Amino acid sequence: MTPVIAAAGVVKDFEQVRALDGLDLMVEPGEIFAVLGPNGAGKTTLLGILEGYLSRDDGAVEVLGVDPASAGSSWRQRIGIVLQETSLEPLLTVRESLELYAGYYRTPRPVDEVIEMVGLEDSAQVRAGRLSGGQQRRLDVGIAMVGNPDLLFLDEPTTGFDPSARRNAWEMIAGLRELGTTVLLTTHYMEEAATLADRVAIVVGGAVAAEGKPAALAEGLPTRIVFRVPDVVDPASIPIQSDFIVRDGILTVSIETTDPTTDLESLIAWARSNGHSLDGLEVKTPSLEDVYMELVG
């Protein structure tokens, strides 16, 4: 299949700052693709170029088979954009807002369908200025989806949300996959990317430092075993090399291992033979956040 997004060697400079430094990226049809990275990594610059609002200094870019730098109105009919911050018309109801934006497209999605899609059925007649933050974000997504886009850009879609509102937003975004819509999202939340994304790219210093399925990226990292024992225990007696801290009479031990089963058996045998209890024992498998921290620091 032809990629929805194909970027190769993209470079963008702002005066003395190189925002993108030979970035490569490919997004396949129908997938949710997350772009991660610290502030200043180039995520927003990348979106601006892919959306056709920023020029690039070098490299090649195709979005939906077209170079965004020279794309026309027919191409824009095929994309939807949800910015980090938007300004809704506060006096228009949810339905009126969607009807307004639907009028800008040749073949919009039915407004009632969009209202149901974003979960605003009970608020269809509520003015946008009276919506909660989570509801306003749902309306943002609805406005981006009312044109029935093939590709949706989501820039930090759940920033500032409480945990409940974030989970609700995740359900809504995951539902877009069933529509066949390709989604490119940026986020600072590792759990969000791991939950939603088919693949992720971690951008560091304006280039992709790692790319792949969230679970696959973490496969090469060690498992961490953590437990607590009284500080009278000699750390040197622990049968596996470990890091530890002592606080308030408690020794907290942390062990990195690539063979957690064998090492756990060894630790349990040591604890039993010495009359110790491994309080708070946790076995932490590597996560996307571990990969991110390994790359970003």
> DSSP letter string over 7-69?
EEEEEEEETTEEEEEEEEEEE-TT-EEEEE--TTSSHHHHHHHHTTSS--SEEEEEETTB-GG
Following DSSP, what letter does each residue of 163-195 receive, concatenated? HHHHHHHHHHHHHHHHTT-EEEEE-S-HHHHHH
Rounded to the nearest angstrom, the gap between the alpha carbon of residue 238 and the centroid of all alpha carbons in its chain is 39
pLDDT (0 to 100) of residue 219: 84
For 205-216, letters b (16+ CB in 10 Å) and e give bbbbbbbeebee
- Asked if residues 206 and 42 have their Cβ atoms less than 8 Å apart, the reply is yes
CB 99 within 8 Å of CB 109: no
What pTM does this model have?
Answer: 0.84
Provide the pLDDT for residue 79.
Answer: 95
What's the rounded Cα separation, in Å, for the pair 31 and 150?
Answer: 11
Q: Which residues contact 32 (CB under 8 A, 6 or more apart)?
A: 173, 174, 176, 177, 182, 183, 185, 196, 197, 198
Please report the pLDDT score of residue 72 as a whole number.
93
- Paired tokens of 263: 């090492």
Contacts of residue 227, defined as CB under 8 A and 6 or more positions apart, other chains included, come to: 252, 253, 267, 278, 279, 280, 281, 282
| Mean pLDDT split into 10-residue runs, the chain, 297 residues | 94 94 96 93 94 96 96 94 86 96 94 92 95 88 93 88 83 86 93 94 95 89 92 89 87 92 94 92 91 86
Q: Which residues contact 234 (CB under 8 A, 6 or more apart)?
A: none
- Cα 168 to chain centroid distance, Å, stands at 15
Q: What is the pLDDT of residue 160?
A: 75
What is the structure's pLDDT at 45?
Answer: 94
Which amino acid does the sequence have at 112?
Answer: D
Alpha-carbon distances of 170 from 196, 216, 217, rounded to whole Å: 7, 21, 21
CB 81, CB 39: distance < 8 Å: no
